[in-house]
């Protein structure tokens, strides 16, 4: 078990180190996040609707698109250099590789969530409610579910000649629960509603995340096997 | 199953299915009573419901055969999964066109975010994804596996999508147009027509499935033959 965890940690470390050194994906994702906020400022007539009412929905759409942009390249760098062969033939079990990729993607998407929250606060003065821990829990659980589905499908789209173009068609139909429960739970936290109104959504998000993560761990081997 | 046998079964099912559809249309146009509140458009029901049923059936077969293929690696399971998915895509398209046509009159709007509508539309997109993965895979064998994974994950997550969509409208007041659902229980003539519709569509679906399966069988045979042929001098 400890060996397994060490192997997973090694891949996570490698991915995050590469990301820190090149900053490729993080720059693209963070840039897109801020740009979406800027475009939304011009896209929505703030004389007609109050941005705060749309806060949760806008935040989640930004996270989904920004996150998808970066996660689509999860296996891209390794494929370009042929390093994927090395990774797959290494003694790390295939599910370990999947879990490591999920963890490193989770870190990336969490980073752009911080960027998005900051950007929306700066540009629109969003009020994020008075339960930061609950907000972190909802964002964390929903993000893990989002990342679990997207990491699996990015391994699939990387092996097609459509590449990242294919990704949204594969993931968005299945991510509807993340959007529904993520947006309603976050929206209620922003409105400072009592905890019990958020709980239900959080549990269902957790159920989605558990199913997605388990299925991803089992199915990943069939996607990458030679 | 031999190729001749598959073809024969496909033919028999097809003839029965087409006969069933002819009978169905006769019943729909000349025999079954007109529904009181919705009037004549309600007759779309007899095409819409059977195609929806077949779509769900096809999705189930695709997911089951896909999972079995990943486990057993029997090419025949992949043929069956692919054939069922194609049927599902076509019948899903029938369902998704006949539904809004009916709804435009019955509900006054072609689309509402009613849970079943949303679910079926999303499921149809999973099928589309299934074929895009297959068609664009750089390696054919990998394409089969990845399509199977798409189908299996779709089948696992679709129930959760359904739960979430069911939960969603409860946040908002239900639109009044939607209450069509609690309509009258079916009269005997309507029930008979519906049953014949379900039977006819199911037969046609299995006929298409067998034909399609036979085609894959033939392709496979052909590939083997060309491989075995001695190289021309």
Residue B22 has a CB neighbour count (10 Å cut-off) of: 11
> What is the C-alpha separation between B174 and B232, in angstroms, rounded?
72
Angle at B112 between CA B111 and CA B113, to 5 degrees: 125
pLDDT at B181: 53
Q: What is d(CA A58, CA A51) in angstroms, rounded to the nearest whole number?
A: 9
Q: Residue A3: is its pLDDT beyond 70?
A: yes
pLDDT at B161 over 90: no
What local confidence, expressed as pLDDT, does residue B66 receive? 93
Contacts of A162 in chain B (CB under 8 A): 132, 136
Distance in Å, alpha carbon of A219 to nearest chain B alpha carbon: 6
Which pLDDT belongs to residue B69? 93
For position A149, what pLDDT does the model report? Answer: 94
A34 to chain B, minimum CA–CA distance in Å?
29
Residue A104 has pLDDT above 90, yes or no: yes
User: Which of B152, B165, B171 has the CB atom closest to A176's CB atom?
Assistant: B165
ipTM score for this prediction: 0.85
| Residue B227 scores a pLDDT above 60 | yes
pTM for this entry: 0.86
Identify the residue among B66, B130, B136, B143 best suited for mutation to test binding to A, counting A beta carbons within 10 A and taking the highest: B136
pLDDT of B168 reads 66
Mean pLDDT of chain A: 90
Percent of chain A with pLDDT over 90: 52
Which residues of chain B does A184 touch, with a Cβ-Cβ cutoff of 8 Å? 168, 171
Sign of CA dihedral A162, A174, A36, A154: negative
Q: Looking at residues B84-100, what average pLDDT do you find? A: 90
CA distance A175 to B77: 28
Q: Is the CB of A174 less than 8 angstroms away from the CB of B132? A: no
pLDDT for residue A1 is more than 50: yes
Give the C-alpha separation, B51 to B99, whole Å.
10
Integer-rounded Cα radius of gyration of chain B: 21
Using the beta-carbon criterion (under 8 Å), do B149 and A211 form an inter-chain contact?
Answer: no
Q: What b/e string do you get for A134-162 counting C-beta neighbours within 10 Å, with b at 16 or more?
A: bbebbbebbbbbbbbbbbbbbbbbbbbee
Give A174's contacts in chain B (Cβ within 8 Å): 122, 126, 153-154, 157-158, 161
Alpha carbon distance A175, A164 (integer Å): 17
User: Is residue A215 less than 8 Å (CB to CB) from chain B?
Assistant: yes
**Helices A132-157 and A94-124, axial angle in degrees (round to 10):** 130
Instruction: Give how far Cα B104 sits from Cα of B41, B46, B93, B186, Å.
Output: 10, 17, 17, 22
How far does A193 lie from chain B, in Å, by closest CA? 14
Chain A residue with minimum CA distance to B115: A176
Q: Which of A10-14, B27-31, B68-72 has the lowest mean pLDDT?
A: B27-31
Chain B contact residues (CB < 8 Å to A):
70, 118, 122-123, 125-126, 128-129, 132-133, 136-139, 142-143, 145-146, 148-150, 152-154, 156-158, 160-161, 163-165, 167-168, 171
pLDDT band of A159, cuts 50, 70, 90: confident
Which of A150, A172, A176, A216 has the most B C-beta neighbours within 10 Å, making it the best mutation to test the interface with B?
A176
pLDDT of residue B189: 80
Question: Using the beta-carbon criterion (under 8 Å), do A149 and B153 form an inter-chain contact?
Answer: yes
Q: How far apart are CA A35 and CA B139, in angstroms?
A: 37
Of A203, A197, A196, nearest to A184 (Cα)? A197
Identify the pLDDT of residue B174.
45
Q: H/E element holding B35?
A: none
A72-100 residue pLDDT tens: 888 887 787 778 888 888 888 889 999 99
Q: Does A180 lie at the interface with B, CB-CB under 8 angstroms?
A: yes
B163 or B220, which is more confident: B220
Is the model's pLDDT at A53 over the cut of 50? yes
Q: What is the pLDDT of residue B172?
A: 41
Q: What pLDDT shows up at residue B206?
A: 94
Q: Is the pLDDT of residue B233 over 50?
A: no
Residue A111 CB coordination number (10 Å): 17
Return the SS3 of A186.
helix
Cα A69 to the center of its chain, rounded Å? 10
């Amino acid at each position: 078990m400890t060996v397994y965890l060490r192997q997973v940690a090694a891949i996570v470390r490698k991915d995050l180190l590469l990301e820190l050194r090149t900053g490729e994906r993080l720059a693209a994702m963070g840039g897109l996040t801020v740009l979406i906020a800027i475009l939304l400022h011009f896209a929505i007539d703030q004389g007609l609707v109050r941005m705060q009412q749309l806060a949760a929905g806008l935040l989640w759409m930004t996270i989904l698109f920004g996150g998808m942009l970066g996660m689509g390249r999860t296996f891209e760098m390794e494929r370009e250099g042929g390093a994927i062969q090395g990774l797959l033939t290494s003694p790390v079990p295939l599910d370990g590789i999947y879990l490591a990729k999920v963890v490193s993607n989770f870190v990336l998407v969490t980073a752009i969530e911080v960027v998005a929250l900051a950007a929306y606060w700066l540009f629109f003065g969003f009020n994020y409610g008075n339960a930061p821990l609950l907000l972190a829990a909802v964002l964390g659980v929903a993000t893990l579910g989002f990342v679990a589905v997207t990491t699996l499908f990015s391994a699939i789209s990387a092996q097609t000649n459509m590449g990242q173009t294919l990704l949204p068609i594969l993931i968005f139909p299945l991510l509807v629960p993340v959007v529904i429960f993520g947006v309603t739970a976050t929206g209620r936290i922003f409105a400072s509603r009592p905890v019990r109104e958020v709980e239900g959504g959080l549990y269902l998000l957790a159920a989605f995340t558990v199913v997605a993560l388990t299925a991803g761990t089992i199915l990943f081997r069939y996607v990458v096997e030679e | 199953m031999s190729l001749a046998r598959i073809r024969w079964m496909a033919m028999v099912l097809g003839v029965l299915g087409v006969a069933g559809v002819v009978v169905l249309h006769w019943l729909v146009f000349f025999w079954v009573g007109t529904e009181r509140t919705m009037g004549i458009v309600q007759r779309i029901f007899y095409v819409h419901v059977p195609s929806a049923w077949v779509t769900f059936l096809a999705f189930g077969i695709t997911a089951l055969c896909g999972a079995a293929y990943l486990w057993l690696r029997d090419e025949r399971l992949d043929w069956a999964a692919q054939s069922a998915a194609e049927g599902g895509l076509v019948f899903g398209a029938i369902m998704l066109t006949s539904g809004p046509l009916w709804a435009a009159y019955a509900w006054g709007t072609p689309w509402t975010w009613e849970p079943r509508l949303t679910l079926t539309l999303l499921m149809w997109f999973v099928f589309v994804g299934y074929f895009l993965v297959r068609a664009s895979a750089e390696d054919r064998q990998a394409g089969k596996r990845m399509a199977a994974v798409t189908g299996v994950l779709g089948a696992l997550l679709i129930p959760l999508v359904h739960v979430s969509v069911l939960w969603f409208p409860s946040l908002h007041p239900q639109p009044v147009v939607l209450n069509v659902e609690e309509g009258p229980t079916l009269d005997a003539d309507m029930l008979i027509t519906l049953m014949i519709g379900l039977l006819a569509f199911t037969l046609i679906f299995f006929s298409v499935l067998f034909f399609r399966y036979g085609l894959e069988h033939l392709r496979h045979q052909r590939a083997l033959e060309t491989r075995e042929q001695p190289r021309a001098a």
